[in-house]
């Protein structure tokens, strides 16, 4: 049989309370009976005080219990002192009730008959031996000397009617209280189970809707416990999935746009050549080749980005000296920077030596993408400055360029795939907006970080931090 969470909580709560009440009932049952038995034994000791004093006087007079041992009738008369003292408890009982309450007198008679006298070695002098019963011992003393012992059978059952009635009355009261506790516990358990299970039921329904693609479901958060944390996590998951869905839709739309644009140009150029509107010459073929090359680069970037996303890029890491690699890459881009009317400055100190655990090919790809990005988006006549700093645990590579810059709210967005700014750093200068996304994946694969901020030159500063090896 399947139960929901609320029913399970209710059953667990009520079952626990029921077991606790039953355990308390059993403990009270045994404790109350044992308490009465201990109380009865204590009363017996008090009643035997007269007999003990009498035996002490007899021992003082006779010097021992030999004369008393030789006179059993005298011993019985001494025991009658205890019974007469006890029998006085029942002198006020009406005769009509005497038959019904005979058991208390019988109890005291049985108690008196169980009294025996022993010497100091606990050898039986007077009375009846009771080897299979539990005896209580009361010493008969004169000053600090033990003269003998009085023994009596320790009660094991509650025999008095009054005591039995009292115990049954207490059990009855406790039973009523237990029933009230169970009723209250059942109601409280129902309220708590409903309060706990309601958000879980709502969460299950919303999770099912989330699995069906409905990311609009939200969980109300009305507390600060674990359920509230679970609801917050669900809301964050829903927002993340919704954002990923929007990002995926934009990603597909952007890819379609990036591929459709050069294809449209190619199609128009080819149709113009077919119709004889545009001659088939070197310039026309060069234009077609340029568009094909752009598409090829875009497809290569998309493929490489997808590989880096799934971790399929191959990395062959070993200790790499970062300074020579950086200077070599800067030298390769000097000609391209001059062609774009830009000044590419190398501020990496040749005396600074540090190694990183990295794949040199991927590092060269990282630096090439950064320089390519700066050359592509920096206005003519501008400056690109590359510097290298070493700290105790990291290697810091910084690429600064001159205007145009990027607003601060877009410093983190430029590392998103296909993100390009709607200003002078736009698609008019070329590129599909994948270079920095690839850079971020490469840096992440090397356990480093890459950030963007405003450059002192007026453009953008890209900072790459890689862990240093010693």
Residue 329 near residue 374 (C-beta atoms within 8 A): no
What are the pLDDT digits (tens) for 430-447? 455 667 877 888 888 888
d(C-alpha 309, C-alpha 438), whole Å: 9
DSSP secondary structure, 101-150, as one string: THHHHHHHHHHHHT-EEEETT--EEES---TTS-EEEEEEEETTEEEEEE
The token duo for 139 is 């010493």
The token duo for 308 is 């880096």
Identify the DSSP state of 380.
T
Residue 319 near residue 469 (C-beta atoms within 8 A): yes
d(C-alpha 255, C-alpha 250), whole Å: 8
Q: Is this structure's pTM higher than 0.85?
A: no
Q: Which residues of the chain have pLDDT under 50?
A: 87-103, 312, 422-430
Q: Hunting for tokens 């004093």 — which residue is that? A: 53
d(C-alpha 448, C-alpha 446), whole Å: 5
Burial of 240 (0-12, 13-18, 19+ CB in 10 A): exposed
CA distances from 348 to 137, 373, 399, 460 (A): 102, 19, 11, 19
Domains in the chain and their CATH numbers? 5-91+100-163 (no CATH), 226-309 (1.10.287.130), 318-469 (3.30.565.10)
Could you tell me if residue 447 is left (phi over 0), alpha (psi between -120 and 50 degrees) or otherwise beta? left
CA distances from 313 to 362, 438, 441 (A): 9, 11, 10
User: So what's the pLDDT on residue 401?
Assistant: 92
What are the pLDDT digits (tens) for 218-275? 887 777 777 778 888 888 888 888 877 776 776 676 667 667 767 777 888 888 888 8
User: So what's the pLDDT on residue 257?
Assistant: 61
Residues in contact with 450: Cβ distance below 8 Å, sequence separation at least 6, in sequence order: 415, 439, 440, 443, 462, 463, 464, 465
User: So what's the pLDDT on residue 398?
Assistant: 93
User: So what's the pLDDT on residue 385?
Assistant: 93
User: So what's the pLDDT on residue 429?
Assistant: 47
The token duo for 129 is 């031996």
DSSP secondary structure, 173-218, as one string: HHHHHHHHHHHHHHHHHHHHHHHHHHHHHHHHHHHHHHHTT-TT--
Residue 69 near residue 125 (C-beta atoms within 8 A): yes
Closest CA to 343 of 425, 459, 450, 454: 459
């Amino acid at each position: 049989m399947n139960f929901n969470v609320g029913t399970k909580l209710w059953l667990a709560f009520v079952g626990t309370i029921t077991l606790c009440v039953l355990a308390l009932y059993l403990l009270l049952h045994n404790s109350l009976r044992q308490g009465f038995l201990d109380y009865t034994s204590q009363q017996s000791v008090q009643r035997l005080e007269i007999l003990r004093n009498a035996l002490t006087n007899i021992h003082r007079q006779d010097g021992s219990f030999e004369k008393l041992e030789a006179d059993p009738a005298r011993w019985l008369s001494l025991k009658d002192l205890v019974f007469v003292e006890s029998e006085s408890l029942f002198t006020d009982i009406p005769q009509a009730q005497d038959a019904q309450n005979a058991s208390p007198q019988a109890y005291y008679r049985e108690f008196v008959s169980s009294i025996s006298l022993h010497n100091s070695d606990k050898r039986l002098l007077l009375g009846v031996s009771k080897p299979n019963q539990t005896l209580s011992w009361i010493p008969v003393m004169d000053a600090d000397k033990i003269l003998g012992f009085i023994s009596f059978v320790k009660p094991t059952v509650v025999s008095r009617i009054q005591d039995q009635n009292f115990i049954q009355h207490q059990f009855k009261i406790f039973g009523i209280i237990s029933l009230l506790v169970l009723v209250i516990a059942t109601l409280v358990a129902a309220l708590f189970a409903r309060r706990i299970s309601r958000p879980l039921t709502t969460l299950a329904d919303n999770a099912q809707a989330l699995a069906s693609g409905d990311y609009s479901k939200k969980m109300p958060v009305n507390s600060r416990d674990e359920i509230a944390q679970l609801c917050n996590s669900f809301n964050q998951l829903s927002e993340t999935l919704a954002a990923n869905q929007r990002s995926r839709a934009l990603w597909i739309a952007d890819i379609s746009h990036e591929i459709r644009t050069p294809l449209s140009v190619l199609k128009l150029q080819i149709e113009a050549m077919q119709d004889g509107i545009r001659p088939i010459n070197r310039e026309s073929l060069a234009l077609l080749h340029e568009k094909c090359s752009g598409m090829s680069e875009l497809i290569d970037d998309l493929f490489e980005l997808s590989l880096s996303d799934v971790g399929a890029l191959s990395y062959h890491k070993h200790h790499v000296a970062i300074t020579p690699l950086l200077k070599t890459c800067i030298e390769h881009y000097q000609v391209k920077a001059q062609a774009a009317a830009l000044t590419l400055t190398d501020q990496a100190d040749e005396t600074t030596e540090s190694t990183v655990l990295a794949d040199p090919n991927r590092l060269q790809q990282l630096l090439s993408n950064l320089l390519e990005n700066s050359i592509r988006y920096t206005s003519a006549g501008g400056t690109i400055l590359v510097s290298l700093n070493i700290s105790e645990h990291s290697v810091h590579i910084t690429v600064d360029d001159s205007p145009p810059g990027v607003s601060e709210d877009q410093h983190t967005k430029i590392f998103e795939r296909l993100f390009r700014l709607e200003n002078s750093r736009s698609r008019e200068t070329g590129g599909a907006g994948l270079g920095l996304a690839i850079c971020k994946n490469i840096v992440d694969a090397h356990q480093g970080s890459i950030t963007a901020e405003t450059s002192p030159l007026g453009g953008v500063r890209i900072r790459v931090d890689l862990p240093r090896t010693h």
